[in-house]
Chains A and B, each alone.
Chain A
């Protein structure tokens, strides 16, 4: 026990030195800029690799990984869950909140009825087919309506 007590200050000092060294090293790690330096055209599918041909400082991923192809838009959850700091360089948080919200007031496709070019869920009269889609792949419903944004679901699903 005494031996443990004598070792403890040494370990604490070593730990402290590691923390200090890590903090000092952090200052040498580059960060992303807080916003895109040039305006981007609203509504345009952006291909980052048109201008960027390498990893951007701070992303550590090639920018081809973030080109907004149709496939990227449909599967953006993978990218957002590991790198939403890069998303926020060009997109405000409200851009995400149009669909990802705790309590939705109206379908995003209604709010943006003048933008049929945008990829948005439940376009048209989805009520009729949701009974089929919900059985085919309920996990896709759960992602948005499982623990939030389900005020309209519980009106019928009691």
Chain B
């Protein structure tokens, strides 16, 4: 069945759409009451809130889909502040012409990822607009942060170590390959990072800051940390993990993994004394199996890259759109 304007009318077709797809997959006691708003029980600790919109095309790609992405992106943003993810809300903007099976598949992915992340989907909305089968999702996440915990990009000090949880560029490369019809085995790294973050926190790794390495890539995110904490960051090219298929694709298209988006990788700035332990812990988890220490915090105000042939250069934030070269 294709979605039509009637599904956005607020009448019978809308209720059926919600009942048969979203309510079915997202069901939980808080959501099932279907009231105008959900009243949450009181929570201990500080409250973390984040929101994000997802407009990826194609809707389905190797390693994930827009539904999985919409949960992972928001849950990971909560985790990056040391929050325990609790609840997610979602808003759908659905173009006419979308197949209901497509929505069902997206909702199922969202439910699976939410379960994996330990969050409940507690509120939602659907709107239908004229179009050609596109789907856009906004999710808002709520989490709690223990009162004594303070993880923030403003906290880094000279001497701290910089850790990267895995290979760069997989999501970006998978999406580009899909769009360009290039056949390869690159999969999006789209995943929730609970396991990787939890293991660090439970073992008392002194984490100063965390950021997930999404749009803008590692270079942009580290520049933001350097500015926020008023420090320099020196990273070593040779230590930054990039898988060989991604490296090859970058070579062909003239892309730089430092500026490519990921959906299941994060950077953590940690106390230097904890670095060996942190790597060992992270490598024991699935999302952190390729984790590496990639650099250190120094005094100054720049992001510096020590290149594999021993040169040094300044790395800036992403300028423009990060597009492939043309010759």
Q: Do A and B bind each other?
A: no
